Structure 1
Amino acid sequence: MRDKSVVVIGGGTGIYPVVTALKKLPVKITTIIAVSDSGGSTGRIRDEFGFPPVGDLRQSLAALANTDSQKALQQLLLYRFEKGSGLKGHNLGNLILTALQDTYASTTKALEVAQQIFRIQGTVIPSTESAVNLAITYTDGTTVVGEHILDAVTAQPKKILSVALTPNCQLNPAAAAAIQQADLVIIGPGDLYASLLAVLVTPGLSQALKKSKAPIAYFLNLMTRHSQTHDMTAKDHVAEIERTLGFPLTHILVNSDPIETKLLAAYAAQSEFPVVNNLLQDARIIESPLLQKTIHQQSEVDAVHRALLRHSSKKILPVLKSLIAS
């Protein structure tokens, strides 16, 4: 009997605890990762070389590293330079992957080689082989290009109407094949527009998901993002995912852990708040304590604003076991 196949869709940071939990189960893990990042170390390398960005791909590789025997290699993938005029802020893993892209002229091939070097417990696939940007259209009719724009804090955030990838691209055939073989698909956690929809809007992806018939579980976001999902409720998040997919989700995974008052205050200072769960009568809800106790510490040389709250891989594990067994 073959191991079940689980596909995880999103960005690198958000899905990290999900991938970490899945490594403890007898399953085949594949991640399909957004390649529209344009900020931080990734953005600087992208501007210099013109390749699809590797930051989220590198995070996914690190999550899949065997931490029992390959801890040092995982740390290399995550290492960020804190000094040096040319290197400060850059991530070593990003530089390694860019060198492999330059050598093999293919992001997918570069990842295949990286997976051998770092002895990864799974497969990391870019959603498309094309060098794309995220185009964001607002309800006032304006359109801007660049995922990094979603990190900008403004006094009055504009409501997002839709996002798309530009220029036109197609779904990576390797991603389509992985979805076809999937027994379970997990979307998130991650920023709704910058990480999740940045993958889901890839032409051909929703069709591949519908064709696969695999159940799809979505990790509801913990907090709103001021420049992306200001005032959006749980129903709003789910509706946006389902509008993009063109069909309903199977499961919606919701955190029940309380959030510390001091953390709520820190988020409120950025005009960010817990996502209001107004899906209480929805039979697809699976509510569980999912929060990590330790708080993420932002690196002083990391140009990208990272979430303080994270999901816990230990708490996610029993939820994943149940989904895979069902």
Structure 2
Amino acid sequence: MAASEVNAVALGGGHGLHATLTALRRVTTAVTAIVTVADDGGSSGRLRRELGLLPPGDLRQAFSALAAQDGGTLWAEVFQHRFGGDGALAGHAVGNLLLAGLFEVLGDPVAALDEVRGLIGVTGRVLPMSAEPLDIHAEVTGLDAEDDAAIRRIRGQVAVATTPGQVKRISLHNARRPGEPPKACAQAVDAVLDADVVFLGPGSWFTSVLPHLLVPELHDALVRTKATKVVILNLIPQPGETAGFSPEQHLDVLFQHAPELRVDAVIADRDSVPTPARLRRAAEALGARALLSDVADLAVVGRHDPDALAACVREALGLNSMEGQ
């Protein structure tokens, strides 16, 4: 199979998913993003609270990554434009408002996202992990001054991402029907099952990466798919969510939340792994091999270099040897 024909699916949200998509578009034209819908902060949180819609920000960011690689259009630039000032529109991105409008007019978030795909001229596809907004709940230690080991429960993506405590475990809940489990977007499930390769990470581990594993149908699809499964690790721990985490601890937490999941490769930056042998053992526990390479952007702390990451993705998929034949 030629590299351009590889059907790639990336799961995540925010800047981490943006990094994966930017790299993938250097490898293949067939890219689908499956995006978290639990954001409750900023412009997305305001629109979610006021209109009861999916938070659009991470979906907009995914389109931005795909549009940038396709050369972009005026609409792609406007899509990312954020209003200033101190009025009602302050802080809102045009793309967030446009997506919110399409969600309301069409009544179908997948149809709305496909409309945007044509509007800004991208070849990839953006899908929500669920067609309904979801809530993240977390069990956290370190918040009780008298008992550092005491578990406190907090709710919401922003609260989890910024907690001064240590997140131990998260759960995902249907925001509209709290007693029901979160329901996966059917098209997202199909995309995972039909993929040649599926990527998890990098990104906010507890609020962008792990939530996909807590949607039952999506979890089952990730376990059942015959696709090559690749985990991309973060370059640095994130304050609040993974402060003090080693690279292998990220994989341990992944396994704790989805013990049936097995992966094929773990990509990590060479300089971000203090003890390579430990990471290799942690990867092997998930059925994977660890690929250590120089994938950090030396000019921006905490950001992956898209060309270097794309080269590592090709290695993980065995495409370099195929292209030389």
TM-score, length basis structure 2: 0.84
Quote the offset at 1:32 in angstroms.
0.7
Q: How does 1:47-86 map to 2 (within 5 A)?
A: 47-65=49-67, 67=69, 69-86=71-88
Separation of aligned partners in 2, 1:66 and 1:177: 26
Quote the offset at 1:249 in angstroms.
2.1
* Alignment-derived partner of residue 308 in structure 2: 315
Which blocks of at least 5 consecutive residues in structure 2 are unaligned? 142-149, 320-325
Separation of aligned partners in 2, 1:141 and 1:70: 47
Quote the offset at 1:280 in angstroms.
4.4
Q: Confirm or deny that 1:150 pairs with 2:155.
A: no
More helix by share: 2
Provide closer, same or farther for how the CA distance between residues 161 and 17 of structure 1 changes in structure 2, counting only shifts above 3 A.
closer
* Alignment-derived partner of residue 193 in structure 2: 180
* Alignment-derived partner of residue 254 in structure 1: 268
Q: Confirm or deny that 1:41 pairs with 2:43.
A: yes
Deviation string, structure 1 residues 204-258 (Cα, Å, up to 9, x no partner):
1121012112121111122222321222222221011123232232111110247
Provide closer, same or farther for how the CA distance between residues 230 and 25 of structure 1 changes in structure 2, counting only shifts above 3 A.
closer
The residue type paired with residue 32 of structure 2 is T
CA contact (8 A) 1:76 1:92 kept: yes
CA contact (8 A) 1:165 1:201 kept: no
Count of matched residue positions in the alignment of Structure 1 and Structure 2: 297
Q: Confirm or deny that 1:201 pairs with 2:214.
A: yes
Quote the offset at 1:316 in angstroms.
0.8
Separation of aligned partners in 2, 1:275 and 1:171: 37
Separation of aligned partners in 2, 1:51 and 1:102: 8
Provide closer, same or farther for how the CA distance between residues 75 and 231 of structure 1 changes in structure 2, counting only shifts above 3 A.
same
Separation of aligned partners in 1, 2:248 and 2:159: 25
The residue type paired with residue 266 of structure 2 is I
* Alignment-derived partner of residue 322 in structure 2: none
Q: Confirm or deny that 1:279 pairs with 2:287.
A: no
TM-score, length basis structure 1: 0.84
* Alignment-derived partner of residue 229 in structure 1: 242
CA contact (8 A) 1:163 1:197 kept: no
CA contact (8 A) 2:223 2:262 kept: no
Aligned pair partner of 2:138 in 132, 136, 155: 136
Separation of aligned partners in 2, 1:193 and 1:227: 10
Quote the offset at 1:120 in angstroms.
1.4
CA contact (8 A) 1:66 1:119 kept: no
RMSD (CA atoms): 2.2
Quote the offset at 1:129 in angstroms.
0.6
Separation of aligned partners in 2, 1:60 and 1:9: 10
Q: Confirm or deny that 1:163 pairs with 2:171.
A: yes
Separation of aligned partners in 2, 1:158 and 1:217: 26
Separation of aligned partners in 2, 1:291 and 1:239: 23
Separation of aligned partners in 2, 1:324 and 1:192: 23
Q: State the identity %.
A: 26
- Range 127-136 or range 316-325, more displaced: 316-325
CA contact (8 A) 2:54 2:131 kept: yes
**SS of alignment partner, residue 14 of structure 1:** helix
Provide closer, same or farther for how the CA distance between residues 9 and 276 of structure 1 changes in structure 2, counting only shifts above 3 A.
farther
The residue type paired with residue 150 of structure 1 is V
CA contact (8 A) 2:9 2:197 kept: yes
Separation of aligned partners in 1, 2:204 and 2:299: 20
The residue type paired with residue 194 of structure 1 is T
* Alignment-derived partner of residue 124 in structure 2: 122
Provide closer, same or farther for how the CA distance between residues 162 and 70 of structure 1 changes in structure 2, counting only shifts above 3 A.
closer
**SS of alignment partner, residue 279 of structure 1:** helix
* Alignment-derived partner of residue 25 in structure 2: 23
Q: How does 1:213-228 map to 2 (within 5 A)?
A: 213-228=226-241
Quote the offset at 1:68 in angstroms.
5.2
Separation of aligned partners in 2, 1:34 and 1:292: 25
**SS of alignment partner, residue 100 of structure 2:** helix
